[in-house]
Every structure is written in structure tokens, then in C-alpha cells.
Amino acid sequence: MKTTQELIELISLKKLEENLFEGKSSFMGSPNVFGGQVVSQALHAAYQTVPQDRFCHSLHSYFILPGHLEKSIYFEVANLRDGGSFSTRVVTVKQDSVPIFVMACSFQLKQEGYEHQEEMPVVTPPEELMSWNDVAEQFGSVLPKSIMRFVLAERPLDFKPVEFVNPF
């Protein structure tokens, strides 16, 4: 996967029934399904079942088992509640009828309210950070093959860690 369009296509799911969707996986540097992909797809599935004027303001998720790249993933959405301002959904993600991931998410009608946010921390600008490609160039000769496979996986977005973690 190289482009953001391919990423959008990956996150978009095939609707099988009213609250059942099917998704595919893409290699992201690991032999298992990448967690962020499953989270994005599960959230997309939940969004398909709530009124369009609501946004997700809270979610909690649990990875139960690793997913297999070659198998389809099924997203079952349970409608727990649709109230005047809030909607609640639970998404169970399965492969071979076995749950691999569960997400509970709450959606809220956009409303005026108190604003409270901590000041953003001062961090190094992205253009001054090393990308995964930079890491591969600089440390490729000493990195284990499994780390290099992850670092060199094609991605539609650049990843530039603010804090570089030594893989050793």
C-alpha cells in the first residue's frame, strides 16, 4: 500500500448485512494484521450504523488474538443505544468465527460546551525527524531482518517518531 487512496480503500468495508461488514488486510511490516488497521476498520463499521450528525468522542478497544493477513475479517456491530444526544456501539471483529478484537465506542451529537485542553507540548518539527527510510539507511546494516521488514514496509504516510527507540 503506497497511497492514501489505497489506505481509504482498505479502511472502507464491504457491507454484507445491516450490521455486518467484511474487510481485508494489508501488510504493514508484521506477519499479523496491523492493530491500527483493525481499529480504523472497526470504527468505520460503527460509523456506518449511527446518525450522520454524530461524531465518535470515546472508544475503548481490546486486542484478543492476532489476525491473519490472508483471511477476511468480519465486523459485527451491536447497537446498544441511540439516545437524544448519544449513540453507543460495540464492534466485535472476527476471523474464522473467533473474536480477535472488540471495540466499544460512543458517538455524540455536536453541541456547544466547555473547552478544556492542556497546552500542546513543544516537539521537534516533522521535517527535522528521521523517517523509517532514514532509519533503514543509517542503521540497516545492523538491524535484524524482522525490524528491517517492518521499517521498509510500504506505507501511504510517513512515520517519523519523535523519540527514537533503540531496537536492541
User: Domain span at residue 94?
Assistant: 4-109
Lowest mean pLDDT of 8-12, 122-126, 148-152, name the range.
Answer: 148-152
User: Using CA atoms, how far apart are residues 16 and 45, in angstroms rounded to an integer?
Assistant: 11
Task: Flag whether pLDDT at 96 surpasses 60.
Answer: yes
Residue with cell 506505507: 155
Phi, psi at 128, each rounded to 5°: -100, 0
Q: What is the pLDDT of residue 64?
A: 95
Residues 15 and 98 in one domain: yes
- Asked whether residue 121 is assigned to any structural domain, the reply reads no
- Asked whether residue 120 is assigned to any structural domain, the reply reads no
- Asked whether residue 151 is assigned to any structural domain, the reply reads yes
Residues 152 and 80 in one domain: no
Residues 12 and 61 in one domain: yes
Q: Extract the runs of DSSP E, i.e. beta strands, from 52-154.
A: 54-63, 73-82, 86-95, 98-109
Confidence band (pLDDT; 50, 70, 90) for 156? confident
Confidence band (pLDDT; 50, 70, 90) for 167? low
What residues have CB less than 8 Å from 3, skipping those under 6 apart? Answer: 156
Q: What is the pLDDT of residue 146?
A: 81
Q: What is the pLDDT of residues 25-69, one digit of tens each?
A: 887 777 788 788 899 999 999 999 999 999 999 999 999 999 998
Contact 86, 96 (CB under 8 A): no
Residues 82 and 49 in one domain: yes
Rg (CA), the chain: 19
- Asked whether residue 130 is assigned to any structural domain, the reply reads yes
Cell of 48: 456506518
Residues 31 and 104 in one domain: yes
Helix (H) or strand (E) holding 151: helix 145-151
- Domains contained in the chain, number: 2
Residues 78 and 137 in one domain: no
Q: What is the pLDDT of residue 101?
A: 96
- Asked whether residue 53 is assigned to any structural domain, the reply reads yes
Q: What is the pLDDT of residue 166?
A: 65
Residue 103's nearest CA partner among 53, 63, 52, 143 is 63
Q: What is the pLDDT of residue 1?
A: 64
Task: Flag whether pLDDT at 168 surpasses 70.
Answer: no
What percent of the chain clears pLDDT 70, i.e. is strictly above it?
97
